[in-house]
Structure 1
């Protein structure tokens, strides 16, 4: 991809783009189907077939990423008993954006349903300003898998933690009660990011909530809890319980590749839940 002087792909119109998407999943017999899949540019939705019982959707963005002024919104509804996966075709690239870019996701997961949110990492280029918000409402008996990864940017090009502002807000509620309400903020105005983040080039959160994930939570909590503490390790992990049926996994890695590999290893149980492997069958 050829980039212009401001770090944006050539040919992309540098104007405000408001893209929105609406997704609805429902169970029909033993399988989940996509009842609604509507998107407006620059968002695109792909709904590939798979061999399992779950429905899969992959997002992509026209122009190869977010440019200055973009504001994307995604609304998701997962009906009772349905199983849905939302992922992406590649990393979310955020280009130089003095006015900033925003991405907002709202999801409602009904009783007995499972939603898996597993996009590729967010990559902010030099001068990028990006704000992300994810809000998930869980009904009783609903389950959620969420993976949220951010990388240092184009480290090989000398653009390591060189963005202007990054914030990520994550809220998960069940029956109106907050299970998780947190906000990450990375801003060089609070101190140079490369020095503050040291050897780490990628940060991530993996969240498991609900009865469909009981066995996976128990196994992961035991696995991460047993990892040795090694000075100057290239990967640092932690696991924390979240209420009676939740687990929050954190990781900081010295490379984006190591973080992605670790997160996918943590989620190696997904093919069993979905009936097919989302990592090998890309959209």
Structure 2
């Protein structure tokens, strides 16, 4: 069966600054979109459709496992003022897909704001692992993202969402203007999780509100493919001692009858990344190959 992979890029438009005249705004905005479809062929999953419009790019590296991998990236190394990115994907019955990013999502100064949206549908018996690198918002950044995932009966999901304080070493610690993130996971029309993070200095100075923590994270595990991983993580995280002034604060909560949500606040981005990948140490065996092995 022939595998169709289509990747289309358009010329990158001029990047707007905060001084861009109003008449130039429409022309300087970058609206990138991507369409992905994963399908099982024999004992492996293939990328049936990979269609991207600039500034979004899709990378589809080969691996030794049975799952198909796709990494997203954007022209210019990050999001600039006015960017609006959308990703729409389907994972067909019995398929296993990994979607990640080529690196941290950097959001630059953006008076008008940047936006990204993910919409996914996961069929019966299928698995989606959505595990992007951390989001890093620079001084003056305005960023809104939404993630909407529809799970069929018997579908499984691994989701990781990480946020860091920004360029702390350069004195840009929680210095963005606005950060909003919506996460919705539904199964058969029933919400398993429906939440929104909102960090805005209008509600109080962010460095003071976040205290000693420089990074926040959420990991969600849902579905039958993750039964043993959920059990092990619930026991491990639930038994962690509560230590005053700890550099890492974790929590774990059940999510319906076959789900788990883990939270972490860390004093460094490195500790957040290390902890989240330790929690997902089962992922290589689930996919048949290690998506982080060649990335340090």
Residue of 17, 22, 29 corresponding to 2:42: 29
CA distance in 1, matches of 2:50, 2:263: 32
Contact 2:15-2:81 at 8 Å conserved across structures: no
C-alpha distance after superposition, 1:157-202 (max 9, x if no partner): 0000000000000000000100000000000000000000000000
RMSD: 0.9
- Aligned-partner SS, 2:109: coil
Match of 1:251 in 2: 264
Aligned length: 272
CA contact (8 A) 1:162 1:193 kept: yes
Q: Which residue in the other structure is 1:221 paired with? A: 234
Equivalent position of 2:202 in the other structure: 189
User: What does residue 7 of structure 1 align with?
Assistant: none
User: In 2, are the aligned partners of 1:12 and 1:63 still within 8 Å (CA)?
Assistant: no
Provide the TM-score with structure 2 as the length reference.
Answer: 0.91
Match of 2:15 in 1: 13
Displacement of 1:281 after TM fit? Answer: 3.6
Alpha carbons 2:37, 2:89 under 8 Å: kept: yes
2:97 alignment partner in structure 1 = 84
TM-score normalised per structure 1: 0.95
Give the secondary-structure state (helix, strand or coil) at the position aligned to 1:135. Answer: strand
Residue 10 of structure 2 corresponds to which residue in structure 1? none
Give structure 1 regions of 4+ aligned residues with deviation exceeding 3 angstroms. none
2:120 matched residue in structure 1 = 107
* TM-superposed deviation, 1:12: 6.5
Higher RCO by CA contacts (8 Å cutoff, separation 6 or greater) = 1
Distance 1:12 1:93, change over 3 A: farther
- Give, in whole Å, the separation in 2 of the partners of 1:255 and 1:27: 39
**Could you tell me how far 1:280 is from its partner in structure 2?**
1.0
Aligned residue number for residue 20 of structure 2: none
* CA distance in 2 between partners of 1:90 and 1:31 (Å): 26
What is the CA-CA distance between 1:91 and the residue it aligns to?
A: 0.2
Structure-2 separation of matches of 1:201 and 1:280: 25
Q: Any unmatched runs of 5+ in structure 1?
A: 1-10
- Secondary structure of the residue aligned to 1:199 is coil
Distance 1:209 1:156, change over 3 A: same
Unmatched tracts of structure 2, length 5 or more = 1-12, 17-27
Q: Secondary structure at the match of 1:63?
A: helix
